[in-house]
């Protein structure tokens, strides 16, 4: 344990319900993003912040596959796989509760679908500075705004959060999904009471990177009816910021976490509140205002830190963002990972001379006399001569025959595009064979019925 | 040489905007001329405009036009400081009934040619409005639809004077998206803000600690907007109308905040009057402070420590002046008197051994020996005879004479025996005789004095009893407030937490429907028969038994919003009003002895839920008995049923009533025999 202050948990047991078209039968966390599987990005981020050990929560049946995939990547982290039963219907909070006894210190929870180059130190420092219960990171959204969603035209409505942050202190006042509200947003008076001004953001993206106190998992462990972390537990915890210690509890100065005799539901029973803490508060010179106790006596404190404007952050949780990150990855690769990792894998066979911002994985065969732009080519895929591929994603083992023009498309695993096809804004499902000379636009071509695709086991 | 002609800065001052709140002094003269720390409010406003570089002012008044005109003439004649470099025009007329009319009149007269400063004559500010005007002009260049820029000031959250706002502004361009005036009497538990505001802007700032000093920068289009929308009566109507019909009117409102060092406040009622007086004396409004001679350009007071301002021509010997006291020339204070936080006008006489704290005396007031005055205002030439006790927000009108040993609290006193008021049904005036406490002192009941101009009352329930806000202790201890709200927070929190919200069963839906019906019926004064019909149809829809209906109807009456949150916490008045209107509905259901028991059972439930009812339970039961809703036997039966620990409190509160019932019935028995 070289980094004993924080443990890190990566939640990688998601089933990818929002990107059924591209998933095939692979786990969500192994979706190819450039040269690496999706899961590599959060792990790499943690590694760059000097974490040496990470707990990765995976589904039991997918563990081997994930393990194998990660061994092929240049990661030095020690990964501790925590498996959850495949047949269970665990939410994120359930997963955390399941690995409860592995958490020994304050910890980070990171979702497996975050691709980012942001530095976590400002976030962690905010957490340390205010002895916070929770600190979370917010990104500017709109990474995928200029990408057209391939496939049939649907009304794509991105999920949006309404986030209230006290501008002067960055205290988090509320966080709700816009879809949870009706026409009006109800704001309790006490949210505004001690805060003259509250900034409400609607276009920020919750990065799903959370820094949490150890006692929070104890509390979560107790709250068995909460199943999702973001949707239920987070708003709950944020609301509990305003809970006040009952008068008699103040005298009870010796109670400590773990030693609480009666496990009441009250969140304050979980907050460590030793005599020493009180002494520190009393003698501390630090204060925000002259007439109030620090933090207005709030014991639970949640903070939101905004990532710097130039930081890259995207959550790969929908087909659109998946395509967007793949298309743009080559242009931002240097900012993301530096020169450390080559974009054209050593085993890739690139004979094409007209390429711009492409990524090719192992054994990808990109023939001569092709024009390839802003695209990603998965392992073992074959691009025959006389092809134009731009803004597209060709996944593993796919074959593109001669004379095709593919623009803004996703070509699925083992799909086969035959001669002379012209495809624009299309999604080609796994194993699908596109007939010779097909001309399609904004189509979803796949073998299975639409219904079968959303098979989430 | 038109290009060398300097752009003149114009301003409009609206006088007499809050007449009702200053009763009874507003009946005797213009509120704009009401002295605030011995300088009339209009002068403060004119000085503020002059300091902001305004060159032409239009003062708009309706009721006391001549008085204000005389005052301005006198000001110019005596070289008041605002008369330099600034021309003041008086306009107005009898036909002008509200702010909106004034704006329409200004538009018709075409006096305003450019962006102008719009202010109430009751605003006190030391702010320099030039930067705000510049900001407005910049914005108008950028956005042709800029109609106005509201100037707001940060304030403390704990004190409410009716000027506080909750607004939502776009953080990038400070455009106003939401505007809500905070209520004075009780604090809103939650605010409901349309979600679209937040979704439409990437970052919206919610300001909760802002005060509206009634200063705005208007574009010329603001006046024509008033002309086009003849239903705009107040400035709030204008703001609301523009926010709702933003696209239709193609106009937008922006917001500017004053820097922390500048002071601005509107004096719209007595608590605000007290607050602003204190701020002026404490020099927050510097240089608008008594000893600066801002109005007359001559030193009127000598400034002593503890904010005591004493005129050299005042006779104050052997008097304890504690702090924050202003004494004008020609006043005499006799020995042994203690004065704090008080303003004394010209030529006042105060007797021996008086106690004055937070008192505002106008000119020529006489206070005789051994009086105690606290939190009150005394008008010109009033006389308070010896050993009076006047406190808690009393206002004594001009020329009143309070007889010896009068004790008054929270009352308004006038010297004329009758007042006029508008009756609710007919539009003509009716003369009301007032209760007399002396030959020249009559009590004005502020509850009967309907406020005809109160268009802000929309947020209040129509039936909620209105009354004039009174002075009182401004500084509630901070801890007390925060503790109180913390307690409520916790309960809020528990309510809000998951799994507590029960699924609405039929009974609850029925109850809420009955509450809706009754509240609407109460508000619209609909025929009780229709209400009964409505309740009966709900009853069959939800398959309620008669017993349940009886129970729920009573519960619904007490569940109406204005009883749950009564005005001024006066639950009895609220209940009285409710039963007056809805009595026939209740008595339709509560007929038999058994039904009465249901009724009392419902009351028992309400007792648990509503703290106001808890306090007054015995009076409420007595009221129901008086009005024959419940019989004596029913009360006895109910009282006997109340057993056990949980009803101990309730029994306790009812003991007296039951005893009294017993006695009276025994007397009846005796009479019969």
> Rg (Cα) of chain A, in Å, rounded?
24
In contact, B107 and B28? CB cutoff 8 Å = no
For B299, phi then psi, to 5°, come to -75, 120
Nearest to B15 by CA among B123, B149, B153, B152: B123
Q: Are residues A58 and A146 in the same domain?
A: yes
Which chain A residue shows the shortest CA-CA distance from B164? A196
Helix (H) or strand (E) holding B166: strand B164-170
The minimum CA-CA distance between B167 and chain A, rounded to whole Å, is 10
3 state SS of B481: helix
Mean pLDDT of B160-184: 85
Q: Kindly state whether B662 is in contact with chain A, defined as any CB-CB distance less than 8 angstroms.
A: no
> Does some domain include residue B96?
yes
**A interface with B, Cβ–Cβ below 8 Å:** 160, 162, 164, 167, 178, 181-190, 192-193, 195-204, 225-226, 232, 236, 239-240, 242-244, 291, 296
Place of tokens 């007290």: B274
Mean pLDDT of B643-662: 78
CATH number where A73 lies: 3.90.550.10
Q: What is the CATH number of the domain that holds B214?
A: 3.90.550.10
Whether B423 has a pLDDT exceeding 50, the answer reads: no
Q: Among A48-52, A276-280, B128-132, B636-640, whose mean pLDDT is lowest?
A: A276-280
Whether B252 maps to a domain, the answer reads yes
Question: Residue A384: which of A414, A423, A351, A410 has the closest Cα?
Answer: A351
CB-based contact B498 A225, cutoff 8 Å = yes
Task: Give me the pLDDT at residue A109, please.
Answer: 92
CB-closest option in A167, A185, A197 to B198:
A185
Token reading at B255: 């917001």
Task: Tell me, yes or no, whether A180 and A230 share the same domain.
Answer: yes
> How many Å lie between the alpha carbon of A289 and the closest alpha carbon of chain B?
13
Predicted local confidence at residue B619, as pLDDT: 84
What is the C-alpha to C-alpha distance for residues B353 and B370, in angstroms, rounded to an integer?
5
Closest by Cα among B390, B374, B372 to B441: B390
Same domain, residue pair A368 and A308: no
- CATH classification at residue A385: 2.160.10.10
Residue A250 placed within a domain? no
Distance in Å, alpha carbon of A232 to nearest chain B alpha carbon: 9
User: Residue A266 pLDDT > 80, yes or no?
Assistant: no
Which residues numbered 129-168 in B keep a CB inside 8 Å of some CB on A?
Answer: 154, 157, 166, 168
Q: Closest residue of B to A160, CA-based?
A: B199
Give pLDDT, residue A198. 87
Locate the chain A residue with the closest alpha carbon to B171: A199
Question: Domain check: are A71 and A180 in the same one?
Answer: yes
Residues of A in contact with B189 (CB under 8 A): 188-189
Look at A122-136, A368-382, B113-127, B636-650 and tell me which has the smallest mean pLDDT: B636-650
Q: Is B171 at the interface with chain A, CB within 8 A?
A: yes
Whether residue B535 is found in the same domain as residue B603: yes
Q: B489 to chain A: which residues are within 8 Å by CB? A: 188, 190, 242-244
Same domain, B145 and B84: yes
- Among the candidates B444, B461, B483, a domain finishes at B444
| Residue A286 resides in a domain | no
| Pick from A198, A225, A236: CB nearest B206 | A198
Kindly tell me the number of DSSP H helices and DSSP E strands found in chain B. Answer: 20, 36
3-state secondary structure of B57: strand
Mean pLDDT within B638-666? 78
B554, part of any domain: yes
Q: What is the average pLDDT across A137-143?
A: 84
Q: Which domain holds residue B530?
A: 503-672
Chain B residues within an 8 Å CB radius of A164: 206
Contact B32, B41 (CB under 8 A): yes
**Is the same domain home to B388 and B332?**
yes
Domains in chain B, number = 3
3-state SS, one letter per residue, for chain A: CCCCCEEEEEECCCCCCCCHHHHCCCCHHHCEECCEECCHHHHHHHHHCCCCEEEEEEEHHHHHHHHHHHHCCCCCCEEEEEEECCCCCCCHHHHHHHCHHHCCCEEEEEECCEEECCCCHHHHHHHHHCCCCEEEEEEECCCCCCCCCCCCCCCCCCCCEEEEEECCCCEEEEEEEHHHCCCEEEEEHHHHHCCCEEEEECCEEEEEEEEECHHHHHHHHHCCCCCCHHHHHHHHHHHHHHCCCCHHHHHCCCCCCCCCCCCCCCHHHCCCCCHHHHHHHHHCCCCCCCCCCHHHHCCCCEEEEECCCCCCEEECCCHHHHHHHHHHHHHHHHHHHHHHCCCECCCCEECCCEEECCEECCCCEECCCCEEECCEECCCCEECCCCEEECCEECCCCEECCCCEEECCEECCCCEECCCCEEECCEECCCCEECCCCEEECCEECCCCHHHHCCCC
Same domain, B226 and B167: yes
Instruction: Give CA angle at A139 (A340, A35), nearest 5°.
Output: 30
Residues A58 and A195 grouped into a single domain: yes
Looking at the domain assignment, is residue A278 inside a domain? no
Q: Are B114 and B255 in a shared domain?
A: yes
Length of chain A: 457
Verify that B20 and B63 share a domain, yes or no. Answer: yes
Asked whether residue A368 falls in the same domain as residue A309, the answer is: no
Looking at the structure, tell me whether residues B261 and B362 fall in a common domain: no
Contact between B344 and B328 (Cβ < 8 Å): yes
Minimal CA–CA distance to B612: which of B554, B568, B553, B556?
Answer: B568
Distance CA A53, CA A46 (A): 9
Whether residues A373 and A231 share a domain: the answer is no
Alpha helices (H) in B497-615, listed in sequence order = 506-524, 528-542, 546-558, 561-564, 571-589, 593-609, 611-615
Segment among B54-63, B275-284, B408-417 with least mean pLDDT: B408-417
Q: Tell me, yes or no, whether A125 and A171 share the same domain.
A: yes
> Is B439 in CB contact (< 8 Å) with chain A?
no
Chain A touched by B320 (CB under 8 Å):
no
Is there a domain that residue A397 lies in?
Answer: yes
CATH number for the domain spanning B625: value is 1.25.40.180
Residues of A in contact with B156 (CB under 8 A): none
Which class for A223: exposed (0-12), middle (13-18), buried (19 or more C-beta within 10 A)? middle
Please check whether residue A26 lies inside any domain of the structure. Answer: yes
User: Would you state the pLDDT for residue A135?
Assistant: 92
Q: Scan for tokens 């820094």, then name that residue.
A: A211
Question: Residue B195: its chain A contacts at CB < 8 A?
Answer: 162, 178, 181-185
Residue B159 lies in a domain: yes
pLDDT reported for residue B485: 41
Task: Write the residue in A162, A225, A243 that is nearest to B198 by C-beta.
Answer: A162
Judge if B439 and B569 occupy the same domain: no
Q: Give the count of domains, chain A.
A: 2
Question: Comparing C-alpha atoms, which of A411, A407, A353, A426 is closest to residue A378?
Answer: A411
Share of chain A above pLDDT 90, in %: 7
Q: Reply yes or no: is the peptide bond before residue B24 cis, omega within 30 of 0.
A: yes
B222, B342: one domain? no
Please give the ipTM for the structure prediction: 0.78
**Residue A10: which pLDDT band, with cuts at 50, 70 and 90?**
very high
**Structural contact between residues A186 and B194, judged by C-beta atoms closer than 8 angstroms:** no
| Cα–Cα distance, A184 to A187 (Å, whole number) | 9
Q: Do B195 and A240 touch (CB under 8 A)?
A: no
Q: Which residues contact B16 (CB under 8 A, 6 or more apart)?
A: B30, B31, B32, B61, B62, B63, B64, B121
Query: Among B188, B198, B485, whose Cβ lies nearest the Cβ of A200?
Result: B198
Q: How high is the mean pLDDT of chain A?
A: 80
Q: Is residue A337 part of a domain?
A: no
Q: Which of A174, A188, A249 to mutate to test the interface with B (most CBs of B within 10 A)?
A: A188
Chain B neighbors of A203, CB-CB under 8 A: 202-203
Residue B454 resides in a domain: no
When comparing pLDDT for A347 and B352, which is higher? B352
Q: Are residues B262 and B407 both part of a single domain?
A: no
Contacts of A142 in chain B (CB under 8 A): none
In a domain, A181, yes or no: yes
Specify whether B101 is located in the same domain as B9.
yes
One-character DSSP codes across B425-441: SSSSEEEEE-EEEETBE
Looking at the structure, tell me whether residues A115 and A221 fall in a common domain: yes
Strands B252-257, B146-154: pairing is parallel
Same structural domain for residues A308 and A355? no
B504-561 pLDDT per residue, tens: 577 788 888 888 888 888 888 888 888 888 888 888 888 788 888 888 888 888 888 7
Instruction: Choose among B608, B607, B590: nearest CA to B547.
Output: B590
Question: Most A CBs within 10 Å: which of B194, B203, B477, as the mutation test of the A interface?
Answer: B203
How far apart, in whole angstroms, are the C-alpha atoms of residue B596 and residue B632? 10
Q: Please indicate, yes or no, if residue A264 is contained in any of the structural domains.
A: no
Residue of A nearest to B156 (CA): A196
For A178, the closest of B188, B199, B208 (CB atoms) is: B199
Looking at the complex, does the CB of residue B504 fall below 8 Å from at least one CB of chain A?
A: no
Q: Which residues contact B527 (CB under 8 A, 6 or more apart)?
A: none
Q: What is the predicted pLDDT for the residue at B269?
A: 83
Question: Is the confidence at residue A296, as pLDDT, over 80?
Answer: no
Q: If pLDDT is split at 50, 70 and 90, which confidence band does A9 have?
A: very high
Domain end marker among B266, B287, B310: B266
pLDDT digit string, tens, across residues B114-170:
889 999 888 888 888 899 999 999 998 988 888 899 999 888 777 777 788 888 999
Residue B11 in contact with residue B118, Cβ under 8 Å? yes
Residue A260, pLDDT above cutoff 50: no
pLDDT 10s digits, A369-391: 888 888 888 888 888 888 888 88
* Out of A183, A196, A199, closest to residue B203 by CB: A199
Domain containing A363 equals: 344-453
Q: At what angle do helices B528-542 and B546-558 cross, to 10 degrees?
A: 130
Cis peptide, bond prior to residue A84, ω within 30 of zero:
no
* Full-model pTM: 0.71
Rounded Cα distance, A206 and B134, in Å:
39
Cα distances from B81 to residues A307, B68, B75, B87, B536, in angstroms, run: 54, 17, 8, 12, 71
Residues 6+ apart with CB under 8 A from B503: none
Answer yes or no: is B541 within a domain.
yes
**Residues A48, A171 within the same domain:** yes
pLDDT tier for residue A292 given thresholds of 50, 70 and 90: low
Which residues of chain B have a CB within 8 Å of the CB of A192? 166, 191, 206, 208
- My answer on whether A116 and A217 are in the same domain is yes
Beta bridge partners of A455: none
The end-to-end CA distance of chain B, in Å, is: 107
* CA distances to A30, A43, A323, B605 from A38, in Å: 5, 9, 12, 59
Q: What whole-number distance in Å separates Cα of residue B558 and Cα of residue B198?
A: 37
CATH, residue B389: 2.160.10.10
CB-based contacts of B575, cutoff 8 Å, min separation 6:
B558, B563, B620, B623
Record the tokens describing residue B417, joined without a space.
């025996």
């Amino acid at each position: 344990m070289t980094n004993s202050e924080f443990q890190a948990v990566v939640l990688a047991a998601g089933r990818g319900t929002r990107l059924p078209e591209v998933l095939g039968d692979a786990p969500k966390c192994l979706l190819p993003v450039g040269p690496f599987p999706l899961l590599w990005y959060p792990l790499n981020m943690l590694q760059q912040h000097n974490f040496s050990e990470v707990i990765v929560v995976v589904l039991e049946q997918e563990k081997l596959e994930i393990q194998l995939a990660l061994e092929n990547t240049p990661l030095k982290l020690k990964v501790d796989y925590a498996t959850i039963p495949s047949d269970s219907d665990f939410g994120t909070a359930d997963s955390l509760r399941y690995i409860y006894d592995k958490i020994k210190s304050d910890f980070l929870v990171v979702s497996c679908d975050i691709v980012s180059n942001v530095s976590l130190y400002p976030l962690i420092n905010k957490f340390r500075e205010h002895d916070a219960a929770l600190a979370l990171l917010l990104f500017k959204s709109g990474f995928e705004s200029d990408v057209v969603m391939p496939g049939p035209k649907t009304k794509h409505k991105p999920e949006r959060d309404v986030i209230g942050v006290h501008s002067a202190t960055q205290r988090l006042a509320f966080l709700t999904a816009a879809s949870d509200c009706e026409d009006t947003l109800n704001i309790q008076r006490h949210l505004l009471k001690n805060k003259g001004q509250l900034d409400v953001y609607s276009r920020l993206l919750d990065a799903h990177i959370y820094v949490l106190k150890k006692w929070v998992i104890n509390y979560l462990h107790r709250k068995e009816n909460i199943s999702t972390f973001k949707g239920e537990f987070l708003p709950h915890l944020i609301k509990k910021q305003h809970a006040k210690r009952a008068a008699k509890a103040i005298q009870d100065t010796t109670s400590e976490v773990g030693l609480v005799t009666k496990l009441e539901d009250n969140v304050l029973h979980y907050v460590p509140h030793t005599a020493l803490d009180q002494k520190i508060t009393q003698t501390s010179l630090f204060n925000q205002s002259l007439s109030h106790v620090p933090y207005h006596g709030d014991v639970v404190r949640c903070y939101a830190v905004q990532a710097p404007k130039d930081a890259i952050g995207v959550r790969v949780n929908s087909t659109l963002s998946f395509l967007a990150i793949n298309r743009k990855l080559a242009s931002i690769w240097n900012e993301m990972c530096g020169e450390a990792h080559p974009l054209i894998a050593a085993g890739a066979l690139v004979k094409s001379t007209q390429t711009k911002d492409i990524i090719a994985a192992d054994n990808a065969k990109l023939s001569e006399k092709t024009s390839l732009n802003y695209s990603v080519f998965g392992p073992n895929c074959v691009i025959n001569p006389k092809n134009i591929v731009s803004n597209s994603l060709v996944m593993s083992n796919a074959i593109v025959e001669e004379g095709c023009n593919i623009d803004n498309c996703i070509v699925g695993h083992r799909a086969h595009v035959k001669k002379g096809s012209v495809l624009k804004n299309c999604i080609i499902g796994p194993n699908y064979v596109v007939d010779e000379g097909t001309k399609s636009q904004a189509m979803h071509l796949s073998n299975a019925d639409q219904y079968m695709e959303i098979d989430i086991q | 040489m038109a290009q060398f002609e300097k752009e003149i800065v114009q301003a409009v001052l609206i006088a007499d905007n809050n007449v009702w709140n200053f009763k009874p002094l507003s009946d005797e003269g213009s509120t704009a001329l009401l002295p605030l720390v011995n300088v009339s409010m209009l002068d403060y406003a004119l000085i503020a405009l002059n300091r902001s570089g305004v060159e032409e002012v239009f003062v708009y008044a309706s009721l006391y036009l001549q008085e204000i005109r005389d005052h301005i003439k006198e000001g110019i004649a005596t070289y008041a400081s605002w008369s330099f470099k600034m021309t003041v025009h008086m306009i107005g007329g009898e036909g002008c009934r509200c702010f909106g009319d004034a704006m329409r009149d200004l538009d018709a007269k075409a006096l305003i040619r450019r962006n102008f400063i719009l202010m109430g004559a009751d605003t006190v500010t030391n702010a320099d409005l030039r930067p705000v005007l510049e900001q407005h002009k910049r914005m108008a260049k950028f956005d042709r639809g800029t109609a106005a820029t509201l100037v707001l000031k940060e304030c403390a959250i704990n004190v409410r004077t009716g000027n506080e706002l909750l607004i939502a502004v776009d953080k990038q361009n400070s455009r106003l998206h939401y505007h809500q005036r905070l209520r004075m009497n009780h604090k809103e538990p939650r605010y409901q803000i349309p979600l679209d505001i937040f979704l439409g802007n990437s970052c919206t700032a919610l300001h909760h600690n802002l005060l509206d000093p009634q200063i705005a920068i208007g574009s010329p289009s603001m006046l024509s907007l008033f002309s086009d929308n003849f239903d705009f009566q107040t400035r709030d109507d204008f703001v609301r109308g523009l926010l709702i019909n933003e696209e239709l009117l193609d106009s937008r409102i922006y917001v500017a905040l004053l820097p922390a060092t500048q002071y601005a406040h509107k004096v719209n009622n007595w608590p605000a009057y007290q607050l602003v007086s204190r701020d002026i004396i404490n020099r927050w409004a510097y240089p608008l402070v008594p000893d600066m001679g801002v109005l007359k350009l001559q030193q009127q007071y000598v400034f002593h420590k503890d904010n005591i301002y004493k005129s050299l021509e005042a006779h104050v010997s052997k008097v304890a002046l504690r702090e924050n006291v202003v004494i004008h020339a020609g006043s005499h204070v006799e020995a042994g008197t203690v004065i704090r936080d008080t303003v004394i006008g010209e030529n006042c006489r105060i007797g021996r051994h008086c106690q004055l704290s937070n008192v505002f005396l106008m000119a020529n007031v006489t206070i005789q020996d051994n009086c105690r005055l606290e939190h009150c205002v005394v008008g010109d030439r009033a006389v308070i005879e010896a050993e009076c006790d006047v406190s808690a927000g009393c206002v004594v009108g001009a020329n009143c004479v309070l007889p010896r040993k009068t004790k008054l609290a929270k009352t308004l006193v006038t010297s004329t025996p009758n007042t006029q008021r508008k009756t609710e049904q007919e539009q003509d005036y009716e003369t009301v005789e007032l209760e007399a406490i002396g030959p020249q002192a009559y009590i004005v009941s502020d509850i009967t004095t309907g406020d005809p101009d109160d268009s802000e009352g929309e947020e209040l329930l129509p039936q909620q009893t209105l009354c004039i806000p009174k002075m009182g202790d401004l500084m509630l201890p901070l801890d007390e407030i925060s503790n109180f709200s913390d307690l409520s927070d916790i309960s809020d929190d528990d309510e809000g937490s998951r799994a507590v919200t029960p699924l609405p069963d039929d009974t609850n839906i029925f109850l809420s429907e009955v509450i809706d019906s009754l509240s609407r019926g109460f508000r619209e004064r609909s025929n009780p028969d229709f209400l009964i019909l409505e309740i009966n149809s709900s009853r069959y829809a939800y398959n309620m038994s008669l017993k349940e209906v009886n129970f729920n109807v009573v519960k619904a009456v007490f569940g109406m919003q204005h009883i749950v949150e009564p005005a001024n916490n006066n639950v009895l008045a609220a209940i009285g009003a409710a039963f007056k209107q809805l009595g026939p509905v209740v008595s339709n259901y509560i007929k038999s002895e058994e039904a009465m028991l249901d009724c009392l059972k419902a009351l028992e439930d309400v007792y648990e839920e509503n703290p106001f009812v808890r306090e007054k339970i015995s009076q409420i039961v007595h009221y129901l008995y008086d009005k024959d809703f419940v019989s004596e036997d029913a009360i006895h039966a109910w009282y006997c049923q109340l057993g056990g620990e949980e009803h101990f409190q309730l029994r306790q509160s009812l003991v007296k009533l039951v005893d009294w019932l017993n006695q009276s019935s025994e007397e009846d028995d005796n009479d019969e025999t």
